[in-house]
Amino acid sequence: MKSFNVTIGTEKNKPFINIYYDKRRYRFWNGKTIDIELKCEDNPPLLKAAFELKLREGWRPKTKGEKEQFKTPKNVINAMKHSLAEKTSKGCSKRYIKDLNQLIKLWSQFESSNNIKNLSLDSLNEVLLKKFIIRDEWAPKTQLNVKTNLSALIGCFRPGLMNNIKLQKPTSKLHKPINNLKGLLDELKNYNHKLYLCCLLTYGCLLRPHKEVRLLKWSDFTEDLNFIKLSGSRNKSGRNRIVPVPKYIKDQLKKGDSGHNIFSGENAPLNEDYFKTLWSRFKRTSTLLEDRQTLYSFRHTGAIDIFKRTSSLTKLQQAMGHSSLNVSLTYLRGLEVTELSQEDMPRI
């Protein structure tokens, strides 16, 4: 994905917007090229922010004399497909592209079920959008995701159309901690060893299951398997992490080639949905799982165990890989651990 940089320049004491993209420099004195009626001299920071937003949404500056490479699609489906192709060419993630593809299929079904054929972009309105997005079978979080992805597909053709569609705010659902940990782990061990090891690492090393655990290679472990070392690019906080490996996890490890993934036994990891799919299947057979218990519940349960034994928020922060103490503080409050305040935090 090509990078860009937007700055504010001046010429003869008049401001303009500088865009550096694809080893070229572009100057703009107003926002007409992105359909915004705003002169740079009226509000340079605002216009700069508008250009940055457009660039993130996929708009690109054109050189003088450069011809339009496509005609504006006339109907909604074609507009969506055009946006999808553009985002695919820019290297957006496979999961994101998959979600956009699914949304296009859903919209096509929506048009068909409402006896609409090739709905034009000009005919698209808030009433239809609300009917498509706000459905009883979709939770508030799903509706929000649909709205966001829909905006990504048609926003550049009908800017501002989604602004007045207000949705119910999603409520956070906490991952319920596990009380019968040993029993559930035994059940997992009998079900699938890879899923069992994933849950052990999530609980005992407090790693995030779908990325940090799934992507582990033998090279991430020290030679004696006593520690896991993750660079900042490999975890959510962006900081390097060194995590001790408990003996009950070491006993389950059989070290392979340095560059191999610990689950697949090859250079490439298991697919993104591997543990999600396994967990869904396990849920249907388990007799011990409770409502709201997920793969992340093992991480939450491990966090509670560490805090109860150490009473140290600092140690918990290090183990969890949180970016700040405040994150850990909020985390424990959400898990209904004894209320904490800033005064309770470790002092120097």
List pLDDT tens digits, range 239-296: 678 888 999 999 999 999 999 999 999 999 999 889 999 999 999 999 999 888 999 9
Of 152-156, 196-200, 286-290, 308-312, minimum mean pLDDT range: 308-312
Beta-bridge partners for 15? 10
Longest dimension (CA), the chain: 76
CA–CA gap between residue 98 and residue 74 (Å, rounded): 24
Of 157-171, 237-251, 269-283, 308-322, minimum mean pLDDT range: 308-322
Cβ–Cβ under 8 Å, residues 228 and 262: no
Question: Whose CA is closest to 147, among 133, 166, 126, 163?
Answer: 133
Supply the pLDDT for residue 264. Answer: 94
Provide the residue type at 193 as one letter: H
Q: Which residues contact 161 (CB under 8 A, 6 or more apart)?
A: 124, 125, 126, 129, 154, 155
| pTM for this entry | 0.55
Question: Domain map of the chain by residue range?
Answer: 4-57, 76-154, 181-344
Beta-bridge partners for 30? 39
> Residue 159 above 90 pLDDT?
no
List pLDDT tens digits, range 91-115: 777 888 999 999 999 999 999 999 9
- 3 burial type by CB count under 10 A (0-12 exposed, 13-18 middle, 19+ buried): exposed
CA–CA gap between residue 120 and residue 274 (Å, rounded): 39
CA–CA gap between residue 26 and residue 118 (Å, rounded): 37
Residues 25-42, mean pLDDT to the nearest whole number = 85
Judged by DSSP in three states, 21 sits in: strand
Supply the pLDDT for residue 71. Answer: 63
Supply the pLDDT for residue 277. Answer: 94
> Residue 89 above 60 pLDDT?
yes
CA–CA gap between residue 260 and residue 93 (Å, rounded): 23
Q: How far apart are the first and last CA of the chain?
A: 45
Provide the residue type at 10 as one letter: T
> Residue 50 above 60 pLDDT?
yes
Among the ranges 52-66, 71-85, 161-175, 315-329, which has the highest mean pLDDT value?
A: 71-85
Supply the pLDDT for residue 130. Answer: 94
> Residue 334 above 70 pLDDT?
no
Mean pLDDT of the chain: 84
The region, left, alpha or beta by phi > 0 then psi within -120 to 50, assigned to residue 44 is alpha
List pLDDT tens digits, range 121-147: 989 999 999 999 999 889 888 999 999
**What single string gives the DSSP state of each residue in 177-195?**
PPSSHHHHHHHHHHH-HHH
Residues 319-340, mean pLDDT to the nearest whole number = 61
Portion of the chain with pLDDT greater than 90, in percent: 41
| Residue appearing with tokens 């209320």 | 339
Q: Which CATH superfamily is domain 181-344 in?
A: Intergrase catalytic core (1.10.443.10)
- 263 burial type by CB count under 10 A (0-12 exposed, 13-18 middle, 19+ buried): buried
